[in-house]
């Protein structure tokens, strides 16, 4: 299970904290800032202070959406054609990696699940 507001961020959690995070509520996410920051220091080479700042932007795990505006990740929801994982990998690696080589879906279909079959990396 992945809470899923922000893409794949549970992957940077390790150990016992991962289960606590997955079963927790966003209202309690501040308790995970230090764990996220530790992972960001090691994954992205962030300084401890910068890692805490970045971790604080990832928590709580909420994705705001205002239907009166255009959906656009990360400020206002996300569309099915946005490559949100590239945005996340750029953040967690401190811009050392900016693309995963997969790309967003371009094969939308008219009914649920709205995206075509999974595709392979280019």
Give the count of domains, the chain: 1
106 pLDDT above the threshold of 90: no
Q: What is the pLDDT of residues 42-100, one digit of tens each?
A: 989 999 999 999 999 999 999 999 999 999 988 899 988 888 889 889 999 999 999 98
12 pLDDT above the threshold of 80: no
CA distance 56 to 99: 23
Three-class DSSP category at 78: coil
Convert 24-52 to b/e letters by CB count within 10 Å (16 or more is b).
beeeebeebbebbbbbbbebbebeeeebb
- Sorting pLDDT into bands at 50, 70 and 90, what band is 8? confident
2 pLDDT above the threshold of 80: no
Owning domain of residue 87: 1-122
Q: What are phi and psi of 52, to 5 degrees?
A: -65, -40
């Amino acid at each position: 299970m992945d809470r899923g507001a922000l893409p794949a961020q549970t992957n940077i959690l390790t150990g016992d904290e991962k289960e606590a995070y997955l079963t927790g509520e966003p209202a309690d996410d501040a308790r995970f800032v230090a764990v996220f920051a530790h992972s960001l220091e090691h994954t992205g080479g962030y300084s401890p202070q910068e890692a805490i700042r970045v971790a604080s932007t990832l928590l709580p795990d909420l994705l705001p959406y205002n239907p009166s505006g255009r959906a656009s990740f990360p400020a206002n929801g996300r569309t099915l054609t946005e490559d949100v994982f590239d945005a996340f990998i750029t953040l967690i690696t401190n811009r050392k990696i900016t693309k995963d080589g997969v790309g967003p879906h371009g094969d939308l279909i008219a009914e649920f699940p709205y995206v075509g079959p999974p595709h392979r990396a280019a």
